[in-house]
Amino acid sequence: MALPWFIPGRRACRCLLRSGSGLFLGAALAARGNNGIWDTRFHLPGIHGEVHAVATRDTEIYAGGEFTSADRVIVNNIAHWNGTNWVPMGGGVNGRVNAIAVWGTDVIAAGTFTKAGALDAIDASLIARWDGSEWSALGSGIAGARVEALAVDAFGALYAGGEFTDAGGVAAANIARWDGLSWSALGTGLRNDPYAAWVFALATRGTEVFAGGFFTDAGGVNVSCLARWDGLDWADVGGGVDDHDYLPQVTALAVRGDDLYVGGGFRTAGNVGVANIARWDGQWSELGNGLGRFFGDLPVTALEVNVNDLFVGGRFISAGEGSATNLACWNGSSWSEFAGGIEDVEGEVNALAISGGRLLVGGAFTFTNALRPSALARWDVTAWNVVSGGGGLGLSGPLKCTVACVGRERRAVEWSAVAAIRPGNRRSGLRAGGRQREALRRRCLHDRGEHRRQ
């Protein structure tokens, strides 16, 4: 028996689930017009997936990570917010984006991808340039496992750090420089011979470059996870950082004036006891009681400065003497959890940026107000809001989900999209799919389309 509100001509609904007064429809609903109830508006607004990198230029935002849609726009791991709407960037890239840098009028993306553009138009090994209309490679790219960080110095030179051995055919140990025409190494690079080394964070101050990660050798100089390049040589930064319980790592850097803020997983900076974050201004100092680590989680993954405030994101449970879940602010003298932190204990912040004086937070998380954006959020003075052109009413994208069979009646099977209808209000009552909803915890086992009751 056909449902009275099912629209003929659309692809058949694959599954139903009744939960309380709500009815869930799961389907591959191919919207072919906007004259019915089910249409392309059934998507959640904004980006859904994981955001690993955010960069801004005026009111424009560039977000990268692992995702396939922004609002209802199909994108591939990177998207551009033009101040009003999300727009694709020429087919995007075929792998995760870990870092984005605005480089003059262009945008540089880097990560684990090998192709960029529509239909994998160009070879782009771990790094590519977007000029506003098309992608291009930076020489022959970078050979290795990943690029994790990008930075631009005062003269416009681009630096890339990560885990790699070659840039543009030049031997380069985990860090390299692009001058617009060719790649070059920074001395003998950053190493941890005979073991693996990597760079997680880069920051510039004038022509100086600071690099953080996991390494013990910088151009032949003994260092500990942190080093400075002055354009000619590498130097130690105050003895670096260390941790006697976990692998020490620097995973985030930020510069404000003469101050370098260093975040990651460590308990000492030079000879100063700290808790996963410290300031270097020629000597080390702690920031209050620092940030509390939850077992092996990496506490700090993102830093952003704004006027007198330092914003910190990652996976931590306290800031200073108070509790704080993964997002906090240091005002120069004390810590506070910022805007309620992150409600989802499994969530984490991967990227922070400032746009129009407002904080942008990228990652995979749940915030403490009703909108609960999952990948990119903006703090609008009094509340968190998703960065979106609006109009989203439901959930889109592939979901691996099966739900209950009751008696002999098959209520639901696997679906690629889900929306919720309540009697008397067919367009409202959005219910998100996933483990967070009790209705979707009731499952039906299936194997090759044959369903067995639990």
Query: How does residue 385 score in pLDDT terms, banded at 50, 70 and 90?
Result: confident
3-state DSSP assignment of residue 440 = helix
**Per residue in 82-94, is it b (16+ CB within 10 Å) or e — as a string?**
eeeebebbbbbbe
**Cβ atoms of 165 and 153 closer than 8 Å:** no
Residue 396 has pLDDT above 50, yes or no: no
CB 113 within 8 A of CB 94: yes
In the chain, where the domains are located: 1-42+393-454, 47-386
**Band of the pLDDT at 13, cuts 50, 70, 90?**
very low
Q: For residue 341, what pLDDT band results from cuts at 50, 70 and 90?
A: confident
For the 47-386 domain, the top CATH level (class) is mainly beta
Q: Quick one: which of 53, 229, 252 has its CA closest to 157?
A: 229
- Which tens digit of pLDDT belongs to each residue from 349-370? 999 999 999 999 999 887 665 4
Rg (CA), the chain: 24
Indicate the pLDDT class of residue 136, thresholds 50, 70 and 90: very high
Tell me the average pLDDT of the chain: 81
* Beta strands, E only, 241-388: 241-242, 249-256, 259-265, 268-269, 272-273, 277-280, 284-286, 291-293, 300-306, 309-314, 316-319, 322-323, 327-330, 335-337, 348-355, 358-364, 376-379, 384-386
Please give the structure tokens belonging to residue 299. Answer: 């506490």
pLDDT digits (tens, 9 = 90+) for 200-236: 999 999 999 999 999 999 999 999 999 999 999 999 9
How does strand 268-269 pair with strand 272-273?
antiparallel
Q: Rounded distance, CA 114 to CA 135, Å?
A: 12
